[in-house]
A and B are shown apart, each in its own frame.
Chain A
């Protein structure tokens, strides 16, 4: 299963980016093989609907689960429609967030947060 984690850098030791729609990139990790790749998003560039755009990119990449700090209302609607769950992590490194999810310690976002400003 392909997992996307919003990230400030390009490795598993990078810090998690608490923003979803406006994160610059995502680390895409195959939960079985642990192989990962980096997906650059235009999230920080667009003026409107960054969450909607980012969510579409992740869905197109085949992502089945998302880990971020929070999830705005519009991105949440897109993920919900595609049955992709979003989990909330407080911060730390990408590999820590992944490990926390595996230990079942991350809460699933059931209600969207407020929209992020640029």
Chain B
């Protein structure tokens, strides 16, 4: 049963965007919470965080996430150029009389600070985003928000995970709402999870991106299960793939206008009607069995 061991972390991912990751993650969190168990929800879709819209919570904290930005002291710099040579991202350019900094190229690796032979580089900081925290009794939502124009998405997601890990053992379950795609942000969000729920839809695009997602997360060797969303009865296209990969399909959520109506009013799937409450209760029971 979920909660028999504290700190269980399940990632909800997809590959394809718009399959219903956030809807499933939030609704599953609420389904587990309904049984009296405590849940931590991580909104790791930091480029487009929106899980809070489905939940009625009071925000408690907003924490700045910074990375190191070099500050060069011209009085100590001997113009050796080692820092500019080292930087893989060309954030530092060597001119004849000074080093020029391009802040938006810097990935905050601190390498220039380490390599400078004259200690001319000081650690400045730049904010890449913020972590927002909502807490109520038995429920915590941690959400990363990348600042506009920033590119260090995986860095922010890793910091979000570290912060969540500090309180993770107080909860029966942690659910990670992952960003779409199969690139670095998705990988950073999935990393460290104990299990994976892949949400897909029975379309050519859904199958294609599910295949990519399965390939991307293979190295994590995580137990993975598939949820088909917006099923219209014939899910053959996904069935084939899952059969050949021996990945269980644990739920088929039907296409239902009630979901769209609830969504438009800011309500999660689980609140779209008694049939949906029942479906999530059954999903929760399945996970209780799978994680006993």
- State the A residues within 8 Å of B (CB): 46, 48-50, 52-53, 55-56, 59-60, 74, 77-78, 81-82
Contact = CB atoms under 8 A, between A and B. Distances in A.
A29 to B, nearest CB: 21
Task: Give 6 closest A-B pairs by Cβ, nearest first.
Answer: A49-B90, A52-B90, A48-B89, A52-B93, A78-B93, A53-B90
A79 to B, nearest CB: 10
B105 interface: yes
Nearest to B89: A48
A84 to B, nearest CB: 10
B102 A74 contact: yes
A78 B105 contact: no
Contacts of A56: 84, 93-94
A55 B93 CA distance: 9
B100 interface: yes
B172 to A, nearest CB: 43
Interface in B90-110: 90-91, 93-96, 98, 100, 102, 105
- Interface size, B (range): 10 to 19
A22 B105 CA distance: 17
A74 B93 CA distance: 10
Contacts of A81: 95, 98, 100
A50 B94 CA distance: 14
A58 B100 CA distance: 15
Contacts of B90: 46, 48-50, 52-53, 74
Interface of B: 84, 88-91, 93-96, 98, 100, 102, 105
Nearest to B88: A48
B96 A78 contact: no
Given A49-B105, A52-B102, A52-B105, A78 B95 contact: yes
B100 A78 contact: yes
A59 to B, nearest CB: 7
Given A48-B88, A48-B90, A59-B94, 4 more contacts: A50-B90, A52-B90, A60-B94, A78-B100
Given A77-B100, A81-B100, A48 B105 contact: yes
Nearest to B92: A52
Contacts of B84: 56
Nearest to A60: B94
Contacts of A49: 89-91, 102, 105
A109 to B, nearest CB: 18
A82 B98 CA distance: 10
A23 B106 CA distance: 23
A69 to B, nearest CB: 21
Contacts of B95: 59, 78, 81-82
Nearest to A46: B90
A50 B89 CA distance: 9
A72 to B, nearest CB: 12
Residue among A50, A52, A60, A81 with most chain B CB within 10 A: A52
